[in-house]
Amino acid sequence: MFDAPTARQLRRTDFPPDFRWGCSTSSYQIEGAVDEGGRGESIWDRFCAQPGRIRDASSGAVACDHYHRWPEDLDLAQSLGVNAYRFSIAWPRIQPSGRGPGLQAGLDFYERLVDGMLERGLQPWATLYHWDLPQALQDAGGWVQRETVDAFVDYADLVVRRLGDRVRHWITHNEPWCTAFLGHAEGCHAPGVQDFGAAIQVCHHLLLSHGLAVPVIRAACPGAQVGITLSLHPIHAASDSAADQAAVQRHDGLRNRWFLDPLHGRGYPADTLALLGDRAPQVAPGDLQAIATRTDFLGVNYYFPEEVADAPGQGPLATRVVEREGVPRTAFGWEVSPEGLVELFTRVQRDYTPGPIYLTENGSTWDDTLGPDDQVPDEQRLDYLARHLAAAREAMRQGVLLKGYFAWSLLDNFEWAEGYTRRFGLTYVDYPTQRRILKASGQWYARFLHA
């Protein structure tokens, strides 16, 4: 069902007429202009300045120069035939210190950007937090501190009051798992902290800030559609052994259920709390009720499944992720598994019935090269895209209330700790010249959407 030749025969008309088609980007990865318009320092600016943090010693200081080239980029999105554009707002561009009145230049920039989307028939989908916390808030403790929750809610209110007459779809957070564990446990993302207990508390504060922001967004934008985007994975056992099978439940508890359960009114999973012991988060009265505030949709980013094995002594979960042999992998080393998309989405639908679901990110990295004919023949990405669209259609056939697909990403961009060594874009960016060249995958996506 998901072989490439069959998947390429898929047509847009195989999806409902009201299905939302889009592409996604994020502020720090594409905007550049970190010193313009009064923008404050973010945790990624500080993190990138530390030697050894970024694979190629780069930063998002220029990135795709989207701050200046946004009309060209929106023209590009429009040419693909998408009818939605997911972007994120840089908190330091709105509040340089993370608090106080909004910076006019920053608000004006996003107002122009949104107006540009609407002029091109692109429905704006705004993400309020895609990892670029103002450094001033980090200096005061960052997401470990409950005060940052209040700061985020004030920031959300400020932004939505300015843009809510034009933006109706709001995502509070992108991938809180990554913010918490990559940024605060593994330390490979900003702010570069290695403290598992801190990561657990960060999870709680991210979820709490989401829950408290939802009614604020609705008050500032009557009729708003509000959700959150999670990075979720199907979890498989490395073997048939009872120990590895039990490891799946433990790993899933922190990878998936730790977020899905409280968002859907179940509180934190009891088995995971028991494993965490004194590292469990500090939860104040009313917090769990706030986190479970009704949302209008669930955003899910899907990239790959995870295979886990029992690993006594390795952290509170006693699990480790292993690489399955003999499976196709992207240049990032991520397993290519459209079957996993069906497995994950049917599980979420069955276990949580969350209402409308949007696939807010899905994409792949390959070793793209720009040919002398100005072509980028990324056939592997094209196959990946087609096969995952076929998987999305199959998930819908099996009862998943999937309402839209956003490809990651419109552009090659700054890929966090990997710098510019990984390319996710449907469009090739020649960074020295900032030329945009639509890859073969982007050309196929456009043909698919225009058919």
The residues assigned a catalytic role are 175, 361
Residue 84's closest CA among 24, 9, 141, 139? 24
Burial of 255 (0-12, 13-18, 19+ CB in 10 A): buried
Alpha helices (H) along 120-234: 135-139, 147-163, 176-177, 183-184, 196-220
The C-alpha atoms of residue 161 and residue 123 are separated, in whole angstroms, by 18
Instruction: Read off the tokens for 275.
Output: 């494993």
Q: Is the peptide bond prior to 26 cis by the omega test (within 30 degrees of 0)?
A: no
The C-alpha atoms of residue 201 and residue 180 are separated, in whole angstroms, by 8
Say which residues have a Cβ less than 8 Å from residue 230's Cβ, sequence separation at least 6.
Answer: 175, 176, 177, 259, 260, 298, 299, 300, 301
The C-alpha atoms of residue 269 and residue 246 are separated, in whole angstroms, by 15
Element (H, E) at 20: strand 20-24
Pairing of strands 435-438, 427-430: antiparallel
The C-alpha atoms of residue 183 and residue 186 are separated, in whole angstroms, by 6
Place of tokens 């005060």: 147
Q: How many other CB atoms are there within 10 angstroms of residue 243's CB atom?
A: 14
Q: What's the count of helices (H) and strands (E) in the chain, helices before strands?
A: 18, 13
Say which residues have a Cβ less than 8 Å from residue 59's Cβ, sequence separation at least 6.
Answer: 34, 44, 45, 48, 49, 414
Q: Is the peptide bond prior to 191 cis by the omega test (within 30 degrees of 0)?
A: yes
Residues in the chain: 451
Burial track 79-95 (b if 16+ CB lie within 10 A, e otherwise)? ebbbbbbbbbbbbbbbb
Strand partners, 309: 320
Span between the terminal Cα atoms of the chain, in Å: 21
Distance of CA 92 to the CA centre of its chain: 19
- Virtual torsion, Cα 309, 322, 233, 350, nearest 10 deg: -40
The C-alpha atoms of residue 125 and residue 169 are separated, in whole angstroms, by 5
